[in-house]
């Protein structure tokens, strides 16, 4: 089983590089933050190359946003299915030949839920 890749926020990366700029050694900062020294070198290089748009991501939030979008799509799909089934039920209840012969005829709407059979 592989290890998942850790993700760091922009603020965390900037704070780590600031510690390096204040004179702390790569080894000290790497041990203190539990980060590979090569990662610190890369972060410092990225900041020096383009300080304006450095670390454009949002760390772990990127996964959360994707998950939220996925769940919103799922909710939308289920809402469509519910609306469709409600329409089907209304059409069935509106037909007098089916509604009169139904075993649910004369029951209140709350009693029209089918029972779950254990098999």
Please give the structure tokens belonging to residue 44: 């410092």
| Least confident segment among 19-33, 51-65, 81-95 | 51-65
- If you average pLDDT over residues 52-74, what whole number do you get? 71
Sequence spans of domains, the chain:
8-59, 60-102
CATH 1.10.10 given to domain 8-59: yes
Q: With the CA atoms of 61, 67, 71 and 74 taken in that order, what torsion angle do they form, in degrees rounded to the nearest 10?
A: 150
**Average pLDDT of every residue of the chain:** 80
pLDDT digits (tens, 9 = 90+) for 73-118: 999 999 999 999 999 999 988 887 766 666 655 555 555 555 565 5
Q: What is the pLDDT of residue 28?
A: 93
């Amino acid at each position: 089983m592989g290890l998942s890749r850790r993700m760091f926020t922009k603020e965390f990366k900037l704070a780590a590089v600031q510690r390096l700029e204040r004179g702390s050694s790569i080894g000290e900062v790497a041990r203190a933050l539990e980060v590979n020294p090569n990662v610190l070198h890369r972060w410092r290089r990225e900041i020096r190359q383009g300080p304006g748009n450095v670390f454009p991501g949002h760390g772990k939030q990127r996964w959360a946003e994707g998950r939220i979008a996925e769940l919103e799509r799922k909710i939308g799909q289920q809402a469509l299915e519910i609306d469709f089934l409600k329409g089907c039920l209304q059409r069935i209840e509106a037909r007098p030949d089916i509604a009169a012969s139904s075993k649910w005829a004369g029951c209140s709407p709350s009693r029209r839920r089918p029972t779950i059979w254990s098999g």
